[in-house]
């Protein structure tokens, strides 16, 4: 990932995978601008942080102002995410999953796209999940938001590649952060390993990357079982 002078935007950068991505990229010589609702400790001259909420009504305008001040960005990594367990008495958290995981990413790309099209360059990495193929009662908003993220951005990747722009849909299994709430977390990745994978997709620009492989196989099998169960009622 060493490429001095390159500039990256990380949305969802105060904690978890996003924070580790910021630390790694700054250490590797990138200039990094982070966005989240919380402030973040400074990592030096090549690190900037802006407190923004991707759910806010003025998010697009605020992000455009950040782009004017800190851009142009060569790469953007969308790490903002929420994933609460289902509480049937209060479905607001299920709605929030769509707003943060899906619509925040759609809006972020929408703001970046015109400048990238004009430059005929740009790479958008969005963090989806292997849960995008799972039906299940525990967190339907999370799973459905990730299904939409994967479908939307892989389709969009095909639409914009003629403009010289890459989109990568990065599908993780479990990563060791506060978002991983399941009591069982097989094949869980460290944040370091997740950030290394982000670095690798930035270098290679695939449309889809799914990892780790044993978890990909497990989710594929589980997805099939859950689909059959839904079909059979
Ligand atoms: N951890 C896993 O097991 C796992 C597995 C597969 C995929 N993923 C995906 O990886 C991504 C990162 O997850 P993580 O595990 O790193 O979660 P995390 O540790 O909870 O971090 C989430 C980040 O998103 C930011 N964020 C949340 N709501 C926001 C909002 N409304 N506006 C701006 N920023 C917001 C948070 O900062 P503030 O709270 O300061 O806003 C934080 O920096 C998510 O898309 C997640 O679905 C995670």
Q: What is the pLDDT of residues 193-221, one digit of tens each?
A: 999 999 999 999 999 999 999 999 999 99
Query: Quick check: CB of 25 below 6 Å from ligand 1?
Result: no
Confidence of residue 106 (pLDDT cuts 50, 70, 90): very high
| Whole-number Å distance between alpha carbons of 213 and 228 | 23
Confidence of residue 117 (pLDDT cuts 50, 70, 90): very high
**For every residue of 27-58, which 3-state class applies, written as one string?**
HCCCEEEEEECCCCCCCCCCEEEEECCCCCCC
**What pLDDT, on the 0 to 100 scale, is given for residue 2?**
40
**What pLDDT, on the 0 to 100 scale, is given for residue 104?**
98
Note the pLDDT tens digit of each residue in 50-64: 999 999 999 999 999
Query: Quick check: CB of 12 below 6 Å from ligand 1?
Result: yes
The secondary structure of the chain as a DSSP string is ---TT-EEEEES-SSHHHHHHHHHHHHTT-EEEEEESS------TTEEEEE--TTSTTHHHHHHHHHHHH---SEEEE-----PPP-TT-THHHHHHIIIIIIHHHHHHHHHHHHHHHHT--EEEEEEEGGGG---SS-HHHHHHHHHHHHHHHHHHHHHGGGT-EEEEEEES-BSSTT---S--TTPBPHHHHHHHHHHHHHH--SEEEE-HHHHHHHHHHHHHHHHHHHH-
Query: Quick check: CB of 177 below 6 Å from ligand 1?
Result: yes
Higher pLDDT, 46 or 137: 46
Average pLDDT, the chain: 95
Instruction: Answer for the pair 69, 9: CB distance below 8 angstroms, yes or no.
Output: no
Ligand 1 atom nearest the C-alpha of 99 is 31
Tell me the pTM: 0.97
Nearest CA to ligand 1 atom 9: 127
Least confident of 65-69, 167-171, 193-197, 224-228: 224-228
User: How many Cα atoms occupy the beta-carbon half-sphere of 59 within 13 Å?
Assistant: 22
Q: What domains, with CATH codes, occur in the chain? A: 7-232 (3.40.50.720)
**pLDDT higher than 70, residue 3:** no
* 107 C-alpha to ligand 1 centroid (Å): 16
Token pair of 45 as six digits: 């001259």
Ligand 1 atom nearest the C-alpha of 130 is 6
Query: Quick check: CB of 34 below 6 Å from ligand 1?
Result: no
**pLDDT higher than 70, residue 97:** yes
Confidence of residue 227 (pLDDT cuts 50, 70, 90): confident
Mean pLDDT, residues 153-179: 98
Mean pLDDT, residues 71-85: 97
Ligand 1 atom nearest the C-alpha of 54 is 32
Query: Quick check: CB of 101 below 6 Å from ligand 1?
Result: yes
């Amino acid at each position: 990932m060493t490429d001095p002078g390159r500039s990256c935007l990380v949305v969802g950068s105060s904690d978890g995978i996003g924070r580790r991505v910021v630390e790694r990229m700054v250490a590797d010589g990138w200039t990094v601008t982070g966005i989240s609702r919380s402030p973040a400790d400074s990592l030096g001259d090549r690190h900037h942080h802006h407190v923004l909420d991707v759910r806010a009504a003025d998010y697009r305008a605020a992000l455009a102002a950040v782009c004017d001040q800190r851009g142009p960005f060569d790469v953007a990594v969308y790490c903002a995410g929420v994933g609460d367990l289902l509480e049937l008495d209060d479905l607001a958290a299920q709605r929030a999953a769509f707003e943060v995981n899906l619509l925040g990413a759609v809006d972020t790309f929408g703001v970046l796209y015109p400048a990238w099209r004009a430059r005929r360059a740009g790479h958008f990495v969005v963090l989806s999940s292997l849960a995008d193929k799972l039906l299940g009662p525990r967190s339907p908003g999370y799973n459905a938001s990730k299904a939409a993220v994967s479908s939307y951005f892989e389709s969009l990747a095909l639409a914009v590649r003629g403009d010289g722009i890459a989109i990568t849909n990065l599908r993780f299994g479990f990563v060791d952060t506060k978002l991983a709430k399941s009591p069982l977390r097989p094949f869980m990745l460290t944040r370091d390993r997740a950030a290394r994978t982000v670095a690798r997709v930035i270098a290679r620009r695939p449309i889809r990357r799914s990892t780790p492989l044993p978890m990909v196989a497990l989710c594929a099998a589980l997805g099939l079982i859950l689909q059959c169960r839904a079909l059979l009622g």
